[in-house]
Amino acid sequence: MVLILLFFFLPQVTGYLDDCTCDVETIDAFNNYQLFPRLNELLESDYFRYYKVNLQKPCPFWDDNSHCGMRDCAVQPCPSDEVPDGIRSASYKYSEEANNLAEECEEAKRLGAVDDSLSKETRQAVLQWAQHDDSSDSFCEADDIHSPEAEYVDLLLNPERYTGYKGPDAWKIWNSIYEENCFKPQNVKRPLASGRGDDGGQTFYKWLKGVCVEKRAFYRLISGLHASINIHLSARYLLQDTWSEKKWGPNITEFQQRFDEVLTRGEGPRRLKNLYFLYLIELRALSKVLPFFERPTFQLYTGNKSQDAEMKHLLLEILHLAKSFPLHFDENSFFAGNKKEAAKLKEEFRLHFKNISKIMDCVGCFKCRLWGKLQTQGLGTALKILFSENLIEKIPESGPSYGFQLTRQEIVALFNAFGRVSTSVKELENFRNILQNMR
């Protein structure tokens, strides 16, 4: 009976999204046929394929030495000589210019003060970089990329896909995220939570409808991220594992078990709508951050000047395309009430998300940890952009941007995280086509 359901029921996700003026069909057409192909090309370039990460950090919340023993959980770091010189020499800042300033800043710290022999402009830039590095505007617990344990990983050689990491260990991660970090009271149980009675989600959705738009959005972002990850695992599932060949591809049964309306008692379509909500939030951030990348002094610095120029041109093309989207999410509804209360809520929002980024160091599968850390940092960077609109508007057309900065880590995470969400939307179309052909 289950197999019959798997073959004949498709997740029905259509129409308008809650708290938005956009519909699913508009996003599908825009993403799948305009943005996705260009974004894929960008993410295959040297600047975006190398991500520095510390996968050895201990879990800060509970004692857990259990690591996934399956070979597909492993991550193969890059030998240092394979990483382009420009990336290694400017691993923290985003450009050659910024890297030079960073070196001056580090020298100043060693001397205990900013060197008076530096030009006035350089001294100001050094102080601004230091202020940025110590600022509290981050939504993520960033790795110390100068740590001996931080290594470069080639994301193209370590793709996100099904690794076999599941069961109580994986459930513990998501349970900690939802139960302790989504503003949800303990007496309100999420639908289909493991080992609990379920009232069809009535209590949960009554609670969700009654909370402020910011807390509702927070839950929907986490649910959307969860859905996106589950789509990746279903789309790149290990279908064949023999001594001579491994075959990865779409697993229809796995997809249906996670998203079918009947099998999930209505939860599947809600999860997918939250995926589209996440897409809109990250797309909006890309449209807002255009002035930062448009400056002539900004470059995707790898040391290969012709490729760097070509990729910056493609990057700006993608950002202009993002800006042209006709039905953007209106983030002005966030934190729009009493200023004191809004500031308190915003700080709670930031700290809750920062806590989630720390939980990624508790993931027992290293490949899952890699992509979890990258995607939470990418979403955190998108939130940082949305909440820094006034600073971005003040960015000068030339010269350093003092008020708003992004590190190379944040830039790589931002675009790769959106690439994952964009891929999920594209994979949904593939699954719909497969299921239609099976009917």
Residue 234 has pLDDT above 60, yes or no: yes
Instruction: Please list, in sequence order, all residues whose beta carbon lies within 8 angstroms of the beta carbon of residue 249, skipping any fewer than 6 positions away.
Output: 235, 236, 237, 239
Q: What is the pTM of this model?
A: 0.87
The CA distance from 208 to 219, in Å, is 9
Q: Which residue has the tokens 């940890």?
A: 369
22, 140, 362, 365: the catalytic one is 365
Arithmetic mean of pLDDT, 74-84: 88
Q: Which of 58, 19, 59, 401 is nearest to 218 (CA)?
A: 19
22, 68, 362, 368: the catalytic one is 368
Of the two residues 403 and 315, the one the predictor is more confident about is 315
The CA distance from 32 to 322, in Å, is 13
Range scoring the smallest mean pLDDT among 31-40, 192-201, 245-254, 342-351: 192-201
Of the two residues 314 and 196, the one the predictor is more confident about is 314
Range scoring the smallest mean pLDDT among 72-86, 146-160, 238-252, 388-402: 388-402
The CA distance from 424 to 421, in Å, is 5
Task: State residue 124's pLDDT score.
Answer: 52
Strand, coil or helix: 199 = coil
| Tokens found for residue 358 | 């720390």
Query: How confident is residue 11, by pLDDT bands cut at 50, 70 and 90?
Result: low
Range scoring the smallest mean pLDDT among 153-162, 266-275, 314-323, 392-401: 392-401
Task: State residue 10's pLDDT score.
Answer: 53
The CA distance from 222 to 205, in Å, is 15
The CA distance from 427 to 415, in Å, is 18
Query: How confident is residue 67, by pLDDT bands cut at 50, 70 and 90?
Result: low
Task: State residue 335's pLDDT score.
Answer: 76
The CA distance from 376 to 19, in Å, is 22
Query: How confident is residue 197, by pLDDT bands cut at 50, 70 and 90?
Result: low
| Tokens found for residue 88 | 């290694």
Of the two residues 74 and 129, the one the predictor is more confident about is 74
Task: State residue 173's pLDDT score.
Answer: 92
What is the tens place of the pLDDT at every residue in 173-187?
Answer: 999 999 888 888 888
Residue 119 has pLDDT above 70, yes or no: no
Residue 131 has pLDDT above 50, yes or no: no
Instruction: Please list, in sequence order, all residues whose beta carbon lies within 8 angstroms of the beta carbon of residue 55, skipping any fewer than 6 positions away.
Output: 75, 149, 151, 366, 369, 370
Of the two residues 92 and 273, the one the predictor is more confident about is 273
Arithmetic mean of pLDDT, 135-154: 78
Residue 338 has pLDDT above 80, yes or no: no
Other CB atoms closer than 10 Å to residue 203's CB: what's the count? 15
Strand, coil or helix: 77 = strand
Q: Which of 353, 381, 358 is nearest to 173 (CA)?
A: 358
What is the tens place of the pLDDT at every residue in 98-116?
Answer: 444 444 444 444 444 444 4
Strand, coil or helix: 151 = strand
What burial letters (b/e) apply to 109-142, b meaning 16+ CB within 10 Å? eeeeebeeeeeeebbebbebbbebeeeeebbbbb
The CA distance from 237 to 193, in Å, is 24
Task: State residue 101's pLDDT score.
Answer: 47
Any bridge partners for residue 120, and if so which?
Answer: none
Task: State residue 132's pLDDT score.
Answer: 43
Task: State residue 383's pLDDT score.
Answer: 92
Arithmetic mean of pLDDT, 334-345: 80
Q: Which residue has the tokens 């239609």?
A: 436
> What are the angstrom distances between the C-alpha of 39 and each of 170, 314, 410, 420?
30, 9, 17, 10
Task: State residue 198's pLDDT score.
Answer: 64
Catalytic-residue membership of 182: no
Q: Which of 135, 47, 87, 124 is nearest to 401 (CA)?
A: 124
Of the two residues 57 and 16, the one the predictor is more confident about is 57
Percent of the chain, pLDDT > 90? 46
Task: State residue 196's pLDDT score.
Answer: 54
Arithmetic mean of pLDDT, 393-410: 82
Task: State residue 379's pLDDT score.
Answer: 95
Task: State residue 403's pLDDT score.
Answer: 78
The CA distance from 312 to 305, in Å, is 11
Range scoring the smallest mean pLDDT among 21-35, 246-260, 262-276, 397-411: 397-411
Percent of the chain, pLDDT > 70? 82
Q: Please, what is the average pLDDT of the chain?
A: 83
| Tokens found for residue 438 | 């099976």
Q: Which of 378, 345, 372, 25 is nearest to 216 (CA)?
A: 345
* Region of residue 21 (phi > 0: left; psi between -120 and 50: alpha; otherwise: beta): alpha
Catalytic-residue membership of 73: no
The CA distance from 49 to 78, in Å, is 11
Arithmetic mean of pLDDT, 346-355: 89
What is the tens place of the pLDDT at every residue in 363-373?
Answer: 999 999 999 99
Range scoring the smallest mean pLDDT among 64-73, 80-89, 120-129, 269-278: 120-129
Of the two residues 101 and 167, the one the predictor is more confident about is 167
| Residues 53, 363 contacting (CB under 8 angstroms) | no
Output 251-259 pairs: Cβ under 8 A, ≥24 positions apart.
251/162, 252/6, 252/431, 252/434, 252/435, 252/438, 253/6, 254/162, 255/231, 255/431, 256/5, 256/6, 256/9, 257/6, 258/230, 258/234, 259/11, 259/227, 259/230
Annotated binding site for FAD: 161, 163, 174, 223, 226, 258
Query: How confident is residue 12, by pLDDT bands cut at 50, 70 and 90?
Result: low
